[in-house]
Amino acid sequence: MEQKTVVDLVTKGKRIDERGLESYRPIQIQVGLIEKANGSAQVYLGKSKVLAGIKIETGEPFPDTPEEGVLTVNAELVPLASPSFEMGPPSEAAIELSRVVDRGIRESKAIDLKSLVIQKGKKVQVVYVDVYVLDHDGNLIDAASMAALAALANSKVAKMEMKGDEVIEKGGHHQLPLNNHPVAVTFAKIDKTIVVDPSLEEEQVMSARLTVTIDKNGHLCAMQKGGLYGFIPDELKRAVNLAVAKAAENRAKVMAAAKG
């Protein structure tokens, strides 16, 4: 019954929570809630709630990139967030979520990995982005993408140096330098209509999903289609252009919140 209502409304250009087809739910961002993390941010996207924590530790570079630090993104669909999340190894959905968030940050070159080298080929800073989904009411990709960006923009790195063979703290911190600010914008196709920022009720009836991640220059840096159906080319082109506008709006909110 409810599923039919969601679809009927969308075909009439309306949504179950009375938003416009191209409107986001309210976005609230808080930074710095986790004192023991180098950076953190919590994002409410409507009733969806995602916490991202950044840990920056000393480690070794990958052998094929001796002059770069390391970026690792992980997402956890914590069982407390939804009756559909289960304990155990990461699900396909969790892996996809972390890889889509990772792709946006990595491909936009948001983090200057070269600046994270302590000693070439031996010691580098490793940036761990851990996304923790706390309440799942749909569109976790966008919530996670904004949480990750806000947390990175809020991160401080300890100054390090080599003393002999050991890495020691020089004392003091500096802001983690960010070169780019990627923001994901997700669309759902419901019947023949495309809506932005699908809620959980809408995700349950959507036939396909599209995420477009836009960098601060208005360029695409990542895309991901999901769901059991597809899109026609006109829908894709419209979504991409709309994503550029929506990403700019959401980026402004994230960066304003990160400044505190």
Partner 1 sequence: MNKLPEPKQPEKLIDEKGLRIDGRRLDQLRPLKLEVGLLDKADGSAYIEQGKNKILVAVYGPREAHPKHIAMPERAVIRCRYHMAPFSVDERKSPAPSRREMELSKVIRESLEPVVLTDLYPRTTIDVFIEVLQSDGGSRCAGITAASLALADAGIPMKELVAACAVGKIQGKMALDLSDAEDKYGDADLPVALVPNMGLVTLLQMDGNLTTAEFEQGLSMAMEACKTIHSMQRETLKKKYATIKDAVEEREEPEIVA
Where on the chain is the footprint of partner 1 (CB under 8 A)? 92, 95-96, 98-99, 103, 106-108, 210, 215, 218-233, 236-237, 240-241, 244
Which residues have CB under 8 Å from 86's CB, separation 6+? 79
User: In whole angstroms, how close is the CB of 41 to partner 1 at the nearest point?
Assistant: 23
Cα–Cα distance measured from residue 59 to residue 122, given in angstroms and rounded to the nearest whole number: 8
To the nearest whole angstrom, how small is the minimum distance from the Cβ of residue 198 to partner 1? 16
Nearer to partner 1 by Cβ, of 38 and 108: the residue is: 108
Q: Which is nearer to partner 1, 34 or 97 (CB)?
A: 97
Least Å from the CB of residue 230 to partner 1: 4
End-to-end, the C-alpha distance of the chain in Å comes to 44
Q: How far is the CB of 192 from partner 1 (least distance, A)?
A: 12
Calculated CA dihedral for residues 218, 224, 228, 233, nearest 10 degrees: 40
Rank residues 87 and 232 by Cβ distance to partner 1 and give the closer one: 232
Residue in the block written with tokens 């929570």:
17
By C-beta, is 78 or 220 nearer to partner 1? 220
Is the Cβ–Cβ distance between 78 and 62 less than 8 Å? no
